[in-house]
Amino acid sequence: MIQFTGQVINGCLLFPPTQDALRGQWLRDSEGKFVKERLSRSGPAKTLNQVKAHFGLSVAMVRQQMIDLGWSICGIAPNKTMVHEILTKSCGGVGPLGETKRLREMTIDQAMKFFENIRDWSAQELHLVIPEPRKDWKAANDK
């Protein structure tokens, strides 16, 4: 699979020259084959601080609470990867019409919604209160 990122101008999808040339070559090399093209809108990608809050705060706290409550997956205490997958499947419905998105695909706003979904899920399912990373994080993103 290969991915190209362009910009829509006057109803046409335009690519930077290097990507346009590479895309053209890829299409020529795929002559006669069936291909799938997927179009999606992208926004500002999530921030490093959001990734740190997810893994360093949410995943770590949920994992510890699961261990404290005796949760196991096939007899194995949950590790960070398992917890991340559980949270993605349970709380990652931040795309259009509730589509589940992976953290690596999320925009800043979607990552904020994901974090809020995790906080809500954790409170309901694990009786765990995950604090906000910074008290003013919502206001800072509204500016």
Structure confidence by residue, pLDDT tens digits, 88-139: 999 998 887 788 888 888 888 899 999 999 999 999 999 999 998 876 555 5
Give the Cα separation of 23 and 114 in Å (integer). 33
Q: Indicate the residue type of 25.
A: Q
Q: Where are the domains of the chain?
A: 1-39, 48-142
| Token pair recorded at residue 48 | 């490093």
Question: How sure is the predictor about 28, in pLDDT bands with cuts at 50, 70 and 90?
Answer: very high
pTM (2 d.p.): 0.66
Give Dmax over CA atoms of the chain in angstroms.
57
Mean pLDDT throughout 16-33? 92
What pLDDT is attached to residue 29? 93
- pLDDT at residue 6, rounded to an integer: 85
- Is the separation of the CB atoms in 118 and 58 below 8 Å? yes
* CA 138 distance to own-chain centroid: 18
Q: How many CB atoms lie within 10 A of CB 112?
A: 19
